[in-house]
Structure formats: structure tokens, C-alpha cells
Structure 1
Amino acid sequence: MIHVKETTDKTGNTDNRPEAFIRNDQYNFIKDQAQILVNGQATGNDAEVLSVLRHLSHEKVFKLFPSLDDEQKAVLNPLATVKETADAEAFLEQLTPYVIPFRNVTDQGLKKLFPKAKKLKGPKLETVDFKKRSYLGWIESSTLMYLVIEKDGRLEGLHGSFTRSAKKGICSICNRHSEVGMFTAKTKGSSQDHFIKRGNYVCQDNETCNRNINTLEYLHEFVERLQK
């Protein structure tokens, strides 16, 4: 597997500079494509097949971005030259300045998102690398899970009970096979005193989940199901 050394400031956050155009999920998708090229090079020696593989990976990555300027294309173009792990790691490391951090979250902001959670501790935000987040998630008191997502340009909080599973399964957020647990949230039903419980399996470790996410599709679907 490809391991990339990334640098951030003390808070794990960086300024959202104008040239940043890659979300965490898109970065992970690009990383997956780079791994595919490395694996292809290691297992095959047919030059034509490898050329097609590079072309397909290059095409898939470019489709992630509807409108790319020349500078952005130049940033992504080296993917087509990736052959070995060292090539992939060097390519991915130079993408880091172009990754958009998850929206800034503060302790006070979390309290506003979860006003009914009087004893909310929250995650240690100074240790969070926001460039590696498509959402913010953490567990409190072993059985409560909190999620912060970005929806329609603003932050939104979700919370529910969390029960760890003894078996691995498919996470509803990243769609990968991992150690999961059942996340269950209550939503208001047809009357004031009527509540509906909805839930699904998600990763026990939100860092692993964020590292696995290569599309926001499943995250959005998960949230929509909970809020119906």
C-alpha cells in the first residue's frame, strides 16, 4: 500500500488557499488510482495494457473535476507517469497543498450544533488533521456517536447511539469492509411524542472511515436516510 507523509500546522488545519481544489474524498480516489497503477506495473509487463490502464486512471480522475484550469491539470497530470510506489508517494505528496480542509470547527461551534448535549466533550480538535476529513466523528461514553457534516454550505450535527459489532461489515459511509458498529438516531415522527429510530452500520474508527472515503455519495445517502 502507498503511505504518504503529509505535513500540517499545529492545529492540523491549514488556510484554504485559492489553489486548493481537491476534497478529501477526491484525494482518496486519486490515491486508489495511483495504487492501481503501481499494482498493474508490478503484476504485468504488457506495455499496451499498462498504457490503457494509465489512460483509464487519468480519465477517471479528471472526471472528478468538471472544470479544470491549466494549473490544476498540471497538478494532476503526473498520475499518468506513476509506475512504482515511490512515484505514487511523490505524486500524492505534491497534491497535499491543493487539498481543501474540512470546514473549521471550534469547541463553541460544536456546542451550538449539539445544544441538548450538556456534557459534550467533543474531540481534541487540535489533533485533528482537517485535510483528511470528509466529516468529523467521535464517540463519547462508549455508546454515543456524534457526526458533523457539511450540507448546503453549512455545518450540521447528527448524533445517536452506537453499538459495536463483533464482526466486520460494510460501512454505510465509506462503503468499505471494516470493523463496524450500529449507529442509531431518533427522528420526530408524525406527532410530537412519536419518534422513529433509523440506523445502519458505520466504521468504529472515524479516521479509518475518512481515509477510506473516495466519494461523498454514500455519506449523503446515509444522512438522508437518517433524516427522513
Structure 2
Amino acid sequence: MERFIRSDQYHYIKNQSQNLLNGHMTSNDTAVKQALQSLTNEKILQLFSDLTSEQEQLLAQASEVKDDTDAILYFSRLKQYVLPFPKLSEEDIKQLFPKVKKLKVPFFREQDLTELSYIGWNDPGANRKYIITYLDGELTSLYGHYRPLHQKSVCSICHEQEKVGLFTSTIKSNKEEETISRGNYICHDSHTCNENIKSRENLETFIRRMK
């Protein structure tokens, strides 16, 4: 069976299974547990279209997770079917940021790419943050001024309460020679942000707004 699960879908399934586990721990009512299992299965299957019977059976097993051991075993197996973010070379990344001189490209371990909806990193020396993701089926890049905050707030990308910073990008307005600065709070740690993403909608909205 080929890989067919996006990273955000994978994290959504993990979140739903955790909610189900919490339900098992807080209720002894069999009817309630069965209802939670049915709802979990329904929500997960709604993420996909045109599933094969084999894929549907794999996803349905998420609603059968009853303890932490089940969860570890199931998600280690499920991860084999997650589509990894494409592996990009240093040259590939530099070509996505043609206007940036002396771009510092971090090293990304191949295993880390499995759970990424976007690649993001901070350059404290230049007070910048860089982001690479897909938009309308094409790789797109975004960078801007980044100022970390010493407090938690809601991230515009993952919509979770995390340690954030103010990301500001400058774009050209409709009038020549005029520019507009737009800012949003986003996670300081891009890896944590990716783990929180359960839908690409907010990520894509953020990219479109900042570009």
C-alpha cells in the first residue's frame, strides 16, 4: 500500500485517538465508549475521499486504540503511510529565496520530514524567519522579520497556544513604490507548530495573506 496520508491528517488522527483514549479513561459506560469510537471513525474517514478498502481498514483501527501501548504501536505503523515533505537540497532552498544573500540553510534530517506541513527555521542573526510549503500544488517560500516574544499566544498557523514571535513581511501595494507591512504571531519552534497542525487551511491562509 502506498503512502496516502498528509502530515496534517496524521496529526488530526492522533488528536482524535487521544480524545478517544481520554474518553476510555473517564467513562465506564459501554454505550458512551461505543459512541466515541463511532464518532472518531467518522471524523477520520471524512478527511479522505476515494479510499481503497485496505486504506479504510487501516484508518478504522484508530478508533480501536484503547491504551497508550495500542497508540504507540498503531501510530508507528500508520506513520509508514504518511507522505513526507519533499527532501530539498541546499541549492533547492536557495533558489526559493533568490533575493536573500548569504542565506543560512539548516540541516533537516530525513526522518523529520514525515511530519512536516512546512519547513520553517529562524535566523536570529538576521532577525528573520523562513518558511517553505506547498500552495496550489507548487512549492512557495516566505520570509520576513521575526521578533520572539517572552510569552505564549495563539499561533496564526497552528491556532494553538505556544511560545510565539511577531512575523512581519513587507509586500508591494497596488500603487508603485508603496509597500505594506503585515504582521502575525506564529510559533517560535516550527517543529512544534507542525505537530500542532491538524488542517492545512490556516497555514495556507497565513501564506496567502503574508504574500
Q: Does 1:132 align with 2:109?
A: no
Distance between the aligned counterparts of 2:63 and 2:209, measured in 1?
38
* Equivalent residue for 2:189, pick from 205, 208, 226: 205
> Structure 1 length normalisation: TM-score?
0.89
Tell me the equivalent position of 2:200. Answer: 216
Q: Does 1:153 align with 2:133?
A: no
Report the residue type matching 1:21 in the other structure: F
Residue identity (%): 40
Report the residue type matching 2:17 in the other structure: A
| CA distances 1:89-111 after superposition (whole Å, capped 9, x unpaired) | 11111101100011231111111
Structure 1 stretches of 5 or more lacking a match? Answer: 1-17
> Structure 2 length normalisation: TM-score?
0.96
Distance between the aligned counterparts of 2:112 and 2:167, measured in 1?
24
Three-state SS of the structure 1 residue aligned to 2:9 is: helix
Tell me the equivalent position of 1:119. Answer: 102
Structural RMSD (CA): 1.3
Contact residue 106 and residue 125 of structure 1 kept, 8 A: no
Moved over 3 A (4+): none
Tell me the equivalent position of 1:8. Answer: none
Report the residue type matching 1:213 in the other structure: I
Q: Any residues of structure 2 matched to 1:8-47 within 5 Å, and which? A: 19-47=2-30
Report the residue type matching 1:47 in the other structure: T
* Equivalent residue for 1:78, pick from 54, 61, 67: 61
Judging changes above 3 Å, is the alpha-carbon distance between structure 1 residues 71 and 128 closer, same or farther for their aligned structure 2 residues? closer
Q: Does 1:190 align with 2:174?
A: yes
Distance between the aligned counterparts of 1:122 and 1:49, measured in 2?
50
| CA distances 1:178-202 after superposition (whole Å, capped 9, x unpaired) | 0001100001112332110011000
Aligned positions, number? 210
Structure 2 stretches of 5 or more lacking a match? Answer: none
